[in-house]
Structure 1
Amino acid sequence: MLHVVWYKRDLRIGDHRPLQEAWREKEPILPLYVAEPSIWQESELSIRHLQFVKESLEDLQGAFERLGGSMFVTIAEMESVLGTIYESVGPFTLHAHEENGTPVTYERDKRVRQWMKDRGLLFHEYQHCGVVRGERSEELFKKDWKEFIETPVMNAPDSILTLDQEILPSTITTNMDTLLRFKIGGYRIKYGQQGGEGLAHETLESFLDGRFTRYKEELANPLASTNTCSRLSPYLAFGNISMRQVVQLTKEAIEQCDKSDDKKQLKAFNSKLEEHCRSIQWIEDHPQFACNSGNPTFDPSRDVWQEGFERWSRGETGFPIIDAAMRALIKTGWLNFRSRAMLLSFACHTLRMNWKEPADYLAGLFVDYEPGIHYKQVHLVVSPESMKRVCLYDPIKEGKKHDPEGRFVRQYVPELKHVPDSYIHEPWKYDGFFHLDYYGPIVDVGKANRHVRARMADVESSGDGLKKKEADKEGNEQIVFDLFTE
């Protein structure tokens, strides 16, 4: 019988249980990636994610060929693909990792399970990163995650017998360029990280070999963190390397450390790995939060501001650290955690935008977009449990604290490259500002943030948004920054 290995966000050969279980049967295997229009189009996913997937699949194709097999790809809905396989080769068994994502992927998985069940076919699903599915998942997570992570890593098979392509219709192919026909929106990138299992392991190796030594100190630095952070996030998001491989190799590195500070750095990183998986557990338990507000109480304090969104989304707000962060993200697909929170807070609090559009826009830019991690951060920043936990950032203070010499700003906002350090985060105070090809601040950030706190406190205390419309005119007059009178 044929064994179909359905690849999703697990694009590797090493430590891949679905592949291992299929291989152990010693029967033909069909390793298959399905680009599903309902998952990719009109969603938060973008062309840069597909670009990363294609690079990963090309790397995977090379790995399968070295083992004597092939990797296959097609563009269609999963149920349609299963029907095609069933008509071409007859009964088969399906193997896949569980995908812990948005309601869209959750509903797709339910349909696939039902399709297989209706035809009396076996569908084996396996834990992906220690995340628990079903009732009592939060209670079981800690114990199950530890057991999962400590299980020995599965080596890649030494040879693989895959199905002959001639048996399959031409729509299921080994030609990865097929994905170029798949049209989705977003921005391509030239300077971001490339996908592939080999690159994932090289990145981990370079981090454990020495890049980690200032991991804790530089986490908040938008420029230094590009080197001192692990940069494994896109490889974990699309499964080029398994969480188990990363944790076990990190623990080995900790044991081999001679310096106590080096151990502290790696232990800090290791603790983030469990936190990473706990966030994925969160979206597994609360998939509705990819679409709905975590705390609707604060929603009436926000509105739609198209001009504000457009300037924010292009990095043209007039606040150098905000604009540098957005332009860096557009160019490279990566930002450190604090800069991500700052961009979200500035859009949803300071500019008072409804959270959904900025959140989905950022998801489309992050090459390492992982639904659980992304939407958990969105709701921690945008939908706190109470006013006491509201994250409001002053971009002037943020810039002065984390980019005091303006190196990050000058790298991504070249209009300001000749502005002195003392004015780099407040260029409108510089005598030569009007000769710069740069924007004035979109708001008076001090007044805007004070107004946000007042509005949100009012909404929280009243429990509704009845005073929203009455405050709109006054609020807008308060926050618009008049460059010529400040």
Structure 2
Amino acid sequence: MSDTDVLWLRRDLRLHDSPALAAAAAADELLAVYCFDPREYGDRPFGGRDSFRYRKTGAHRVRFRREAVADLRERLRERGGELLVRHERPERALRTVADAVDADTVHYHTRPSPEEMGVEEAVREQFRNRPTATERHWGHTLYHVDDLPVRYTEIQDTYTPFRNTVEAGAEVREPLETPELPPTPATEPSPGEIPTPETLGVEPATPDDRGVHPFPGGESAALDRLESWMWDGDNLRSYRDTRNGMVGPDYSSKFSPYLNEGCLSPRYVKREVDRYEAERVSNDDTYWLVFELLWRDFFQFQVAKHGATFFERPGIRDREIDWADPETDPKAASQFRRWCEGATGIPFVDANMVELNQTGYVSNRGRQIAASFLANNLRIDWRRGAAYFERRLVDYDPASNYGNWAYIAGVGNDSRNRHFDVSSQAEKYDPDGTFVRRWLPALSDVPADAVHEPWTLTPAQQRRHGVELGIDYPEPVVDLEASYEKLP
């Protein structure tokens, strides 16, 4: 009697280095399934204490995800396999598919966020006391959870001690090769169609030529990007110096959408870094990419350790701050709306928010500036900003997004205040105003010495440079310098 296994794909849309696929491919027959879960789209409650409603998954990530699913389907078909696509809750779709093919086991990769764990539990519950087993695998971090020097519940809550402990006491496993695929079951159900953005309740994404990268979705694009950036462009040798850039495709790796949607394995990236160091150069710059992969691990294990507390307003530090609430405070509501739209009147903040809205991507430095301004200068509930990023980002990951926001808001993995001086950051990272003018055309003729603080221009200077504050570009939503005085 032959074994038939089902592979439930989630944010693991690749064939290389996939523990769940490797296990499922050992069966006599294999069928892969991906579900566009309706709960991930549209207007949803944040959940927990002091909840609010927000839109979860926006146009840019939907576009990327649809392309990634289509690419994986094609890669499976090239190898004689198939990918079933369903637009329904996984717990319902998987039971129907498993029953149709008389599946022995459903394999999948686990994820640590409470929301994703809840979906896993719903799937497992469907098969409880039934002949089909479920088997989960760990496959999205650089270091495997079982290889940590201590249990994940005991890892340090600050990055540097965590990094030192892990690097001294654990090894990164070798990535798995893509396995040979067994045939699909003879009773294979209909493959199904990839739902359109409109079906998912999302407006289609509109390309913007000003974006730093088009981010085509899928494993094929991920491997091409790694090859072109690391090897063809030889960009790894100077990565630490360029990583805080703002304009251009190669100042950073742009791997994050592929890592977060599972099109690219961090262990595969590490192996390529090792090969690059052996064949070309090994220095602080080449190490820095691994350093950032470990940052990503840190937040994954922090979510596994702290669970829902990681996403609560007081954070893991249980720190109560008098946050303004846009639901009840009209001033906060107006400020939050202007922050979302990139219309705060603070150019360095606005340019980053416009880039985010138009492309789904913004640099690491830009994210920090925008987050710090909302949480520290406006003192608006940090979860509102994190939820807005969740909607807009093409490279959204629950652990990294909410972990970084909580960190900057002062309720997360650091005991220091993490506010940024917007003006000094603008002068350092956009000294001639190129980035601001790229995204805020109203300021295109403002000189470098005023483009980051246009409110300093006299009315005559404004007329000379073609910008009238309050008409062509907004007045500042807050007195920037005075807002720092409110910080603890």
The TM-score, its normalising length taken from structure 2, stands at: 0.84
**1:2 Cα shift?**
2.1
Equivalences for residues 102-117 of structure 1 within 5 A? 103-117=114-128
- Over the aligned positions, Cα root-mean-square deviation in angstroms equals 2.7
Task: Look up the match of 1:29.
Answer: 30
**1:185 Cα shift?**
4.4
Equivalences for residues 65-464 of structure 1 within 5 A? 65-101=77-113, 103-128=114-139, 129=141, 130-132=143-145, 136-139=151-154, 150-164=172-186, 167-168=188-189, 170=190, 173-176=191-194, 178-180=195-197, 182-185=199-202, 188-191=205-208, 192-209=214-231, 210-223=234-247, 226-258=249-281, 263-288=283-308, 289-294=310-315, 295-304=317-326, 305-384=332-411, 389-430=416-457, 431-433=460-462, 435-436=466-467, 437-450=472-485, 452-453=486-487, 457=488
Q: From 39, 43, 67, give the equivalent of 1:55.
A: 67
Tell whether the 8 Å contact from 1:75 to 1:182 is kept in structure 2 after alignment: no
- Which stretch shifts more, 276-285 or 209-218? 209-218
- Which stretch shifts more, 86-95 or 128-137? 128-137
- Which stretch shifts more, 92-101 or 401-410? 92-101
Which amino acid counterpart does residue 77 of structure 1 have in structure 2? R
Distance 1:186 1:284, change over 3 A: farther
Task: Look up the match of 1:468.
Answer: none
Unaligned runs of 5+ in 1: 458-486
**1:328 Cα shift?**
1.1
**1:29 Cα shift?**
1.1
Q: Deviations over 1:99-135 (max 9, x none)?
A: 222x221112122222222214211111112453899
Which amino acid counterpart does residue 273 of structure 1 have in structure 2? L
Paired with 2:166 and 2:18, the residues of 1 have a C-alpha distance of 18
Task: Look up the match of 1:461.
Answer: none
- Please identify runs of 4+ aligned residues in structure 1 that moved more than 4 A: 138-149, 385-388
SS at match of 2:43: coil
**1:341 Cα shift?**
1.4
Task: Look up the match of 2:21.
Answer: 19
Tell whether the 8 Å contact from 2:35 to 2:87 is kept in structure 1 after alignment: yes
Distance 1:136 1:213, change over 3 A: closer
Tell whether the 8 Å contact from 2:336 to 2:380 is kept in structure 1 after alignment: yes
Tell whether the 8 Å contact from 2:241 to 2:285 is kept in structure 1 after alignment: no
- Which stretch shifts more, 430-439 or 4-13? 430-439
Which amino acid counterpart does residue 31 of structure 2 have in structure 1? L
Tell whether the 8 Å contact from 1:290 to 1:375 is kept in structure 2 after alignment: yes
Unaligned runs of 5+ in 2: 45-55, 156-161, 209-213, 327-331
Task: Look up the match of 2:39.
Answer: 38
Tell whether the 8 Å contact from 2:68 to 2:217 is kept in structure 1 after alignment: yes
Paired with 2:382 and 2:124, the residues of 1 have a C-alpha distance of 33
SS at match of 1:32: strand
Paired with 2:416 and 2:99, the residues of 1 have a C-alpha distance of 56
Distance 1:20 1:148, change over 3 A: farther
Which amino acid counterpart does residue 220 of structure 2 have in structure 1? G
SS at match of 1:216: helix
The TM-score, its normalising length taken from structure 1, stands at: 0.84
Task: Look up the match of 1:8.
Answer: 10
Paired with 1:118 and 1:386, the residues of 2 have a C-alpha distance of 41
Tell whether the 8 Å contact from 2:19 to 2:176 is kept in structure 1 after alignment: yes
Tell whether the 8 Å contact from 2:20 to 2:107 is kept in structure 1 after alignment: yes
**1:292 Cα shift?**
3.9
What is the total number of aligned residue pairs between the two structures?
A: 442
Paired with 1:370 and 1:214, the residues of 2 have a C-alpha distance of 26
Q: Deviations over 1:394-429 (max 9, x none)?
A: 322221111010010111111111111111111222
- Which stretch shifts more, 331-340 or 179-188? 179-188
SS at match of 1:5: strand
SS at match of 1:11: coil
**1:269 Cα shift?**
1.5
Paired with 1:86 and 1:71, the residues of 2 have a C-alpha distance of 14
Distance 1:266 1:138, change over 3 A: farther
Which amino acid counterpart does residue 76 of structure 1 have in structure 2? E
Tell whether the 8 Å contact from 1:96 to 1:124 is kept in structure 2 after alignment: yes
Q: Which has the higher helix share?
A: 1
Distance 1:152 1:393, change over 3 A: closer
Percent identity over paired residues: 24
Paired with 1:179 and 1:132, the residues of 2 have a C-alpha distance of 36
Tell whether the 8 Å contact from 2:260 to 2:395 is kept in structure 1 after alignment: yes
Paired with 2:473 and 2:257, the residues of 1 have a C-alpha distance of 32
Paired with 2:415 and 2:294, the residues of 1 have a C-alpha distance of 26
**1:86 Cα shift?**
4.1
**1:319 Cα shift?**
1.1
